[in-house]
Every structure is written in structure tokens, then in C-alpha cells.
Amino acid sequence: MTPASDVRTVLYLVRHGEAESNRDQRFGGWSPAPLTELGQRQAVAAAAELRRRAPTVLVTSDVARARQTAQPIADLLGLEPRLEPGLRERSLGVFDGLSFTEAEARYPDAWRRLTARDPGAVPEGGETPDTVYGRVSAAIDRILTDHPGERIAVVTHGLALFHVFSYVCGLGPPSHDHPVFVLVDNASITQLERRGAHWRIVSINDTGHLRDMTSG
């Protein structure tokens, strides 16, 4: 039997394709904003790239735009998507689904604090960074525990992925003085490997499979 410290588990982290909220400059959060036509094509391209990498497991956020991105992967690779609510995007409560201009007009004080990167700025009904970090890191731990030694495609969201990076790099929950911010592109693939207690970052924000794709 291979010692646990020698088991290599691979994560292919996929940000969902372009959603209507991305295109229309709206807060996505937990809103049901679907993929755009471009986002659907991006999802198909990501699935084709993942077929080359041959994941054995597919886990996705249960928010609509992530599930829609995961479906071409499931269809092409014959995998059953496992829904993981812990991988959801950060909810900003009353901001979810609003355009940036609508949020500013309706909730000017909350908007001002949020855009000033005040770590305590949480719109009504929204999640704190600590809450998001806790559930996202717990979701990653569950995935690693449930699928040791496998290659796992994980479909999630931009800010959720930032929390994954913070966790992997040992930076803890994002704060006002966080030393780094990472925001990967829609339908990009990031490859991480875990062996024992050690992480290896193989690639970040790989968009080679999207190179010839346009918005038309």
C-alpha cells in the first residue's frame, strides 16, 4: 500500500464560463445568472482541454453558472457531477444580482465601504471573508479526503478561487492588508497537486484552450 504521504492528488480548478452577470457588470454571488453564449462555448472548450488531462472526478459549485460549465465536462468525460455548496461564490446579500450602478444608488454607504476594501464591509445578508474562507477551505479538504490519489476537476468561481489560493499558500482569510490578490479568467484552468501536507502549484490561469475564442 502506498503511504499517505506519497499519494499525489491533482486538482484542476476551473472558473465558470462568462455569465450574464460578468457581461452586464452585476454582482453574481448566489444569483441564478446563466452563462452567456460565449460562456457556453468557453465551457465546451474547457471540457475538451480537460479530456486531455483525464480527470476521474468532477465536483462543482451548485450555483447555476458553475453547474452549466460543469455539464459539458460531465458529458464529454462521462463523469457524474458532485454538487458542493461549499464552493459557491461569496454572497453579498442584497447586492447579489444588482448591477454595480444599482448597488451604488440603492446602498451608497455599503457600496462606499465595499469599494474601499473595508474588510468589515458586508452588505445586508452577505458573507464575511472569514465565512467564505472557512467554507471554501473546508470544501477543498473534503474533496481531498474523499478522493485521495485521483485527478479531480473542480468548477467554481472567481472569488472562491481566490480563497482557495489563500488557503493553499497559507495566507489565511483575506483581509485589508492581504499581500496578494488573484483573479483568474472565465473558463481558465489552474492545476494544483497535493502530496501529503505539501502543495505544488503547477499552473495558474491557463487559457490556452480559449485562445481563438471571440465574443462573436
Question: Is residue 95 one of the residues assigned to a domain?
Answer: yes
Question: Using one digit for the tens of pLDDT, what is the confidence trace for 117-133?
Answer: 777 789 999 999 999 99
Query: Mean of the per-residue pLDDT values for the chain?
Result: 94
Domain region containing 171: 4-210
Question: Using one digit for the tens of pLDDT, what is the confidence trace for 144-175?
Answer: 999 999 999 999 999 999 999 999 999 999 87
Question: Is residue 13 one of the residues assigned to a domain?
Answer: yes
Helix/strand/coil for 88:
coil
Radius of gyration (Cα) for the chain, nearest Å? 17
Question: Using one digit for the tens of pLDDT, what is the confidence trace for 172-202?
Answer: 998 767 778 899 999 999 999 999 999 999 9
How many whole angstroms separate alpha carbon 94 and alpha carbon 92? 6
Lookup: cell for 31: 444569483
Report the CATH number at residue 167: 3.40.50.1240
- List residues with catalytic annotation: 16, 89
Helix/strand/coil for 201:
strand
Contacts (Cβ under 8 Å, ≥6 apart) of 216: none
Question: Using one digit for the tens of pLDDT, what is the confidence trace for 59-103?
Answer: 999 999 999 999 999 999 999 999 999 999 999 999 999 999 999
Question: Using one digit for the tens of pLDDT, what is the confidence trace for 37-50?
Answer: 999 999 999 999 99
Question: Is residue 193 one of the residues assigned to a domain?
Answer: yes
Question: Is residue 216 one of the residues assigned to a domain?
Answer: no
* Residue pointed to by grid coordinates 487559457: 207
Question: Is residue 128 one of the residues assigned to a domain?
Answer: yes
Question: Is residue 180 one of the residues assigned to a domain?
Answer: yes
Across 99-119, average pLDDT: 91
How many whole angstroms separate alpha carbon 41 and alpha carbon 45? 6
Q: How many domains would you assign to the chain?
A: 1
pTM: 0.94
Question: Is residue 215 one of the residues assigned to a domain?
Answer: no
How many whole angstroms separate alpha carbon 124 and alpha carbon 191? 35
